[in-house]
Every structure is written in structure tokens, then in C-alpha cells.
């Protein structure tokens, strides 16, 4: 069974000009006229921000083991460096074919490498939540590493945006500094102010009207601040979630009230908005298909093998290592955000945009099958709790009759 996010991604592409707009152009124009698209953009941004808020609120960042941060750093580096290098190399090779003439080769190569180095953090969190694995040692490690990868990729995008707008690399420095200050303020100032809210909800077991105002307004305000700083609003929502009280009763009440609404109503709006910008017909022909194959290979090999081999190097077993590599290789939501910004700012062509949408769909579709190939259901719980499947007794590994 595939995660729901894959169906939402594919549905968004099919609603665009590739299928729906091709078969029924008048119907698509009636459903999605130009004046509706700004509304879709606002709703999609709100949905992404609130979803990342719920992801951040669910992470037990205070329960990490002494070596967990170091291991997450190794995994994050292995997830971003190989993909960035391979993607940049592919970018230099494909510059004449795919780049806009006003974008320098280095900028184009770094954009492609940055896009391929992303991990679909919300999708990864969604898979772990759906399987009840978000609080296991490997689950926490993977979420932390993916968040670092995405944060670094967004810093790179800030630098590239500053270069593209003519400010030079130094123009992105204030953005990075302000983002770091924002993170410190959320975790050291806002978080203590929210602790009484957690105690109140823990006593009653539910979120009252006042508490609901707080948990909606805080992530939206944080998203507005990070958007003003120059970093996409989803990271404001994520840090707002990290600042929420850690009480288990509060977290259950929060997810119970908000998760279904956000994930089933608001989040799919983003996939629709992105699909309207996707035209797959532009990548037909031998040269374009060859370019797409090179980009897909660079992205897959860098992330999947880089993360898997790094997990082996820091002491994890073979099965959980390749399972983590499969999850980290999915790019779904975050690469779509990344490339939508690149397309809006004129850094990439519509052809490269369509190729990277396909990369998002294929790596997302492959994540769960590769994960289950490495960790079948009968081995999953023990392996992700720290028990190596290959070290278990033969009778424990055998499937039940």
C-alpha cells in the first residue's frame, strides 16, 4: 500500500495541462480560472504550514540519546552531499539543453543539486506516523536528519535567489542569520510561555476554544515571520510545533483536533496548485528523456546509497540501513515547493520543472516498496526499535504459519 501523499501528487499532475487540460481544456479553464490561482496558493501555504506545525509538535526532541545528534549529523551529511554533487554534475552536463540563458551555469547546477538533495520531510513524517514509528530510535534519527537536509537546502535556495536577483551570495547572509535568531527565540522564549497551556490541556484532556486560537495563530504567525525573513513559511510552522508543550496528553489532543482537517482538506490544495504548473508534454524526445534519466539516476543514487551506507557506518544493521535510505530518498512535497519557487523566480525552465515533478513522483512511489523490501512487516518493529533482524535467532525470524 502506498502513502496517501503519492495519490495526491499524481492527482495534482493529472488535474494540470498534461491530462485534464488536454482532454477538457474548457472545463479546466472554468474550474481553475486565473483569478482562482492566488486563492489556491494561499490555501496551500496555510495547509503546508499547519501540517509542518503538527509534525514539529509530534517530535520528542527532548528524548534523544547522547549519541543521537551526532548520528543524525552523519546521516544528514550523507543525504545532502552526494546528491548535491551528483546533481550539480548533471546540471553542468545539461546546462545547454535545460537552462534559461540568463542563469549562469554554476547557479543552474547548484539549483539542480539542491533540489535533488531534499528529502520529503512531511511525507517521511507521514509514513512514520501512519506506521506508528515516529518515536522509535531510527524514526527520530531519520526525522532529525531529514529536517537538517531540508534546512540546508533552503539556505542554499536563499543564496541562489539572492544571486539570481543580483545581490550576490552575501545578500543571503541576513536571511540565514535572522532564521537562526528566529529558531532560538521560538525554542528559548516562546516555548516556556506555552508551557501553562500544556498543563491546562493535560488537566482537562481537550483543547478548548482559547487553546485552539493559540495553536492556530502561533504557527501562522511564525510562518508569516519566516516568509518575511525569506525562508519558506513551512519552517516557521515546524519551529512553532517544536515550541509546543511536550505533554503527551496535549499532543494527542492537538493531533486529534487538527490532523484530519489539515491532511485531508488543506494539504491536497498544494498538490492541485503545483499540478496546474506541470506540463509533461515538454519533455518528449530522445534528448529530453535522456536528460530526465540522468537527473533521476543522480538523485536516486546520491540519496539512497549515501544514506544507506552512512547508516551502516554508524553501526546500524543492513536491513534498517537500506530502509532508512529508501525513506530518505523520497522527495515528494519538499522538492515540489523548492521547484515552484525556482519556477516563479525564473531560475528554471518549465521543462526542468516537469522533470523534477516526475522525479518527485517516482522517488515517492519507490520509497515504501524499497522500505518494505528491506524491512518486511514481520521484522519491522524489532529492527526499528534497535534490534538487528540479521542478529535474531532463526526461529524468531521465521514467519508465523
HEC string for 237-306:
HHHHHHHCCCCHHHHHHHHHHHHHHHHHHHHHHHHHHHHCCCCHHHHCCHHHHHHHHHHHHHHHHHHHHH
Give the separation between CA 111 and CA 128, rounded to whole angstroms.
29
* pLDDT at residue 167, rounded to an integer: 58
User: Is pLDDT above 60 for 154?
Assistant: yes
| pLDDT: which is higher, 12 or 288 | 288
Give the separation between CA 54 and CA 238, rounded to whole angstroms.
7
CA angle 311/315/317 to nearest 5° reads 75
> Would you state the cell numbers that stand for residue 385, as one nine-digit string?
526499535
- Fill in the DSSP letter of residue 196: H
User: Is pLDDT above 80 for 136?
Assistant: no
Domain boundaries, the chain: 4-8+49-384
User: Is pLDDT above 80 for 110?
Assistant: yes
CB-based burial of residue 66 (10 Å sphere; 0-12 exposed, 13-18 middle, 19+ buried)? exposed
31-45, 94-108, 175-189: the lowest-pLDDT one? 31-45
Q: Which of 58-67, 148-157, 187-196, 223-232: highest mean pLDDT? A: 187-196
* pLDDT at residue 275, rounded to an integer: 79
* pLDDT at residue 258, rounded to an integer: 86
Give the separation between CA 280 and CA 358, rounded to whole angstroms.
8
- Computed over every residue of the chain, the mean pLDDT equals 80
Give the separation between CA 360 and CA 296, rounded to whole angstroms.
9
Which uninterrupted H or E stretch holds 34?
Answer: none
User: Is pLDDT above 90 for 192?
Assistant: yes
| Cβ neighbours of 360 (radius 10 Å) | 28
User: Is pLDDT above 60 for 157?
Assistant: yes
170-174, 306-310, 332-336: the lowest-pLDDT one? 170-174
Any residues with CB less than 8 A from the CB of 400 and at least 6 apart, and which?
A: 378
Distances in whole angstroms, Cα of residue 61 to Cα of each of 57, 58, 144, 223, 279: 9, 9, 9, 20, 40
* pLDDT at residue 168, rounded to an integer: 57
Average pLDDT rounded to a whole number, residues 147-171: 72
| pLDDT: which is higher, 81 or 259 | 81
User: Which alpha helices (H) appear in 94-186, and where do they start and end?
Assistant: 95-98, 105-116, 121-130, 137-164, 173-185
Name which CATH class applies to 4-8+49-384: mainly alpha
User: Is pLDDT above 60 for 398?
Assistant: no
Give the separation between CA 289 and CA 281, rounded to whole angstroms.
11
Average pLDDT rounded to a whole number, residues 105-131: 82
Do the beta carbons of residue 341 and residue 157 sit within 8 Å? yes
User: Is pLDDT above 50 for 399?
Assistant: no
Which uninterrupted H or E stretch holds 230?
Answer: none
* pLDDT at residue 383, rounded to an integer: 57
Reported as a single tens digit per residue, the pLDDT across 35-90 is 887 888 888 888 888 887 887 787 665 545 556 778 888 888 888 899 999 999 99
CB contact burial 224-233 (16+ within 10 A = b; e otherwise): ebbbebbbbb
Give the separation between CA 165 and CA 159, rounded to whole angstroms.
10
Do the beta carbons of residue 92 and residue 109 sit within 8 Å? yes
Amino acid at each position: 500500500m502506498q502513502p496517501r501523499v503519492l495519490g495526491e501528487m499524481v492527482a495534482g499532475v493529472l488535474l494540470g495541462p498534461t491530462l485534464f487540460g488536454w482532454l477538457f481544456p474548457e472545463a479546466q479553464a472554468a474550474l481553475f480560472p486565473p483569478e482562482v490561482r492566488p486563492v489556491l496558493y494561499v490555501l496551500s501555504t496555510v495547509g503546508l504550514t499547519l501540517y509542518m506545525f503538527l509534525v514539529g509538535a509530534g517530535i520528542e526532541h527532548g528524548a534523544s540519546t547522547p549519541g543521537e545528534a551526532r548520528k543524525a549529523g552523519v546521516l544528514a551529511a550523507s543525504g545532502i552531499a552526494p546528491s548535491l554533487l551528483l546533481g550539480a554534475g548533471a546540471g553542468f552536463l545539461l546546462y545547454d539543453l535545460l537552462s534559461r540563458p540568463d542563469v549562469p551555469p554554476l547557479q543552474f547546477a547548484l539549483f539542480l543539486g539542491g533540489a535533488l538533495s531534499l528529502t520529503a520531510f512531511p511525507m517521511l513524517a507521514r509514513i512514520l506516523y501512519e506506521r506508528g514509528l515516529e518515536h522509535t530510535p531510527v524514526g527520530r534519527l531519520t526525522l532529525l536528519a531529514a529536517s537538517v537536509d531540508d534546512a540546508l537546502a533552503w539556505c542554499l535556495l536563499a543564496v541562489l535567489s539572492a544571486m539570481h536577483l543580483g545581490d550576490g551570495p552575501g545578500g543571503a547572509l541576513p536571511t540565514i542569520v535572522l532564521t537562526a535568531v528566529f529558531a532560538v527565540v521560538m525554542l528559548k522564549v516562546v516555548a516556556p510561555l506555552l508551557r501553562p497551556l500544556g498543563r491546562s490541556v493535560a488537566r482537562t484532556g481537550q483543547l478548548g476554544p482559547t487553546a485552539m486560537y493559540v495553536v492556530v495563530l502561533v504557527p501562522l504567525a511564525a510562518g508569516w515571520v519566516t516568509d518575511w525573513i525569506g525562508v519558506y513559511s513551512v519552517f516557521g510552522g515546524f519551529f512553532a510545533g517544536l515550541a509546543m508543550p511536550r505533554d503527551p496528553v496535549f499532543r494527542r489532543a492537538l493531533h486529534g483536533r487538527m490532523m484530519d482537517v489539515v491532511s485531508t482538506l488543506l494539504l491536497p490544495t498544494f498538490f492541485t496548485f503545483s499540478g496546474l504548473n506541470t506540463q509533461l508534454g515538454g519533455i518528449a524526445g530522445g534528448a529530453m528523456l535522456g536528460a530526465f534519466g540522468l537527473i533521476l539516476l543522480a538523485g536516486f543514487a546520491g540519496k539512497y546509497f549515501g544514506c544507506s551506507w552512512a547508516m551502516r557506518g554508524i553501526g546500524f544493521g543492513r536491513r534498517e540501513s537500506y530502509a532508512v535510505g529508501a525513506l530518505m530518498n523520497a522527495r515528494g512535497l519538499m522538492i515540489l515547493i523548492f521547484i515552484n519557487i525556482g519556477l516563479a523566480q525564473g531560475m528554471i525552465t518549465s521543462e526542468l520543472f516537469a522533470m523534477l515533478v516526475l522525479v518527485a513522483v517516482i522517488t515517492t512511489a519507490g520509497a515504501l516498496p524499497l522500505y518494505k523490501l528491506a524491512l518486511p512487516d514481520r521484522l519491522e518493529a524489532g529492527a526499528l526499535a534497535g534490534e538487528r533482524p540479521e542478529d535474531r535467532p532463526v526461529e524468531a525470524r521465521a514467519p508465523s504459519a
